[in-house]
Structure 1
Amino acid sequence: MTASRRIVIKPYSARWPADFAQVEATLHGALGDIAQRIDHIGSTSVPGLAAKDIIDVQITVSDLTDPAVTRAFESLGATTTDITSDHVPPGDQHDPSAWEKRYFRAPASWRPTHLHVRETGRANTRYALLFRDYLRHSPAAAAAYAQVKVALARLHPDVDAYYAVKDPVCDLVMEAAEQWARGSAWSP
């Protein structure tokens, strides 16, 4: 197992929001109107939450198949990958296309960053934002989630084993997040 295929969870860093702001500014400059939204998602977007030291960014576009999307990312030096779908929660009733995405590797000169490109109105776009906002709202849920991640990284540091457990844990968190969203009139 190579070091790059191992999961390492670090304590929260107060620099992560500023790191995202730099990435966001670069993306806005390159993507212009292609990006309808650029959001800091994932664990580094939740104050106090332990995380991999990788900034996750969700770029929301109107059409995943628009060739201008790929051209814009390539102009930054980002490379496409074969990741074309997110984890689908068990029992999900959406069309499989609701979980499609494009994933780009940021240039090596950037700080570690994951670039998730998702389409407006799709289930996976909403999932990432609701998950983030719920963990920001519930410090207890965020702390429990952090404990799971730290234990998983220690017990199953291989990326495939880590995500095989973490994804269903996220689905459990989303059950509580959905209840919170209904009760709070949450909107992305």
Structure 2
Amino acid sequence: MPFDDEIAPVAVVAHRPCWAREFAGHAARLRELLGALAVAVDHVGSTSVPGLAAKDCLDIQVRTAPLDEECAGRATARLTAAGFRLRPEPWNRTEVVSGRPCRKLVFAPPVGARRCNIHLREHGGPNARFALLFRDHLRADAEVRRAWGTFKQRLAAEVPDLAAYGRIKQPATEALMRGAERWAAATGWQPS
């Protein structure tokens, strides 16, 4: 759930080329803050897909190896010292991918900073793969990209409440990802 300073109706906007540049700045800062804890920093989610309509909130994945208690504690200490806020909800601590629970941590930006979500996931984990597959499949398939963007814009126009928007979008995301898995198998896609 958003922190008080993040509360706003859901708005899905046309793709903005500045998102890639903004991600690059955030990625450099995260690498600086996390050092060797960060195996990779990826621009994921809808803002990472050129031409895709999205909420104006960057999703950034930091892959760690492993995301155990020690790594999580060190990463949390470094990010919170820089003003990032650990999201407390259970779904921001664990996500289920293909029936397997996967650990994660999600951080909000410092108060007043550019809207983003920092997702810490274990390098090589199913949930890290999921985020990369979502991005790469939508980058590769213009028809699916257009349909997904149109769906999100219509949904946001009808359901501006973030929690309700997310509940409705979840089953559609699952359907999208079944197609992404077929695409991955057909093309031999592997996470970068």
How do residues 2-81 of structure 1 correspond to structure 2 at under 5 angstroms?
Answer: 4-64=7-67, 65-66=69-70, 67-81=73-87
Q: Spell out, residue by residue over 1:80-118, the C-alpha distance to the aligned partner (whole angstroms, 9 max, x if none).
A: 1212123x36xx332x2x2x2101111124311111111
Amino acid at match of 1:55: L
Partner of residue 122, structure 1 = 125
Q: Matched residue pairs, number?
A: 181
Amino acid at match of 1:145: W
Which structure 2 residue ranges, 5 or more long, are not aligned? none
TM-score (norm 2): 0.89
Aligned equivalent of 1:131, options 134, 139, 144 = 134
Amino acid at match of 2:86: T
Q: Answer whether contact 1:30 1:75 (CA < 8 A) is retained.
A: no
Partner of residue 93, structure 2 = 84
Between the aligned partners of 2:94 and 2:10, the Cα distance in structure 1 is: 21
Amino acid at match of 2:147: A
Answer yes or no: is 1:93 the counterpart of 2:99: yes
Alpha-carbon RMSD across the aligned residues, in angstroms, is 1.6
Between the aligned partners of 1:39 and 1:93, the Cα distance in structure 2 is: 24
- Structure with bigger strand share is 2
Partner of residue 170, structure 1 = 173
Between the aligned partners of 1:109 and 1:155, the Cα distance in structure 2 is: 28
Between the aligned partners of 2:82 and 2:183, the Cα distance in structure 1 is: 38
Between the aligned partners of 1:77 and 1:93, the Cα distance in structure 2 is: 34
Which structure 1 residue ranges, 5 or more long, are not aligned? none
Between the aligned partners of 2:8 and 2:125, the Cα distance in structure 1 is: 29
Aligned residues with identical type, % of pairs: 35
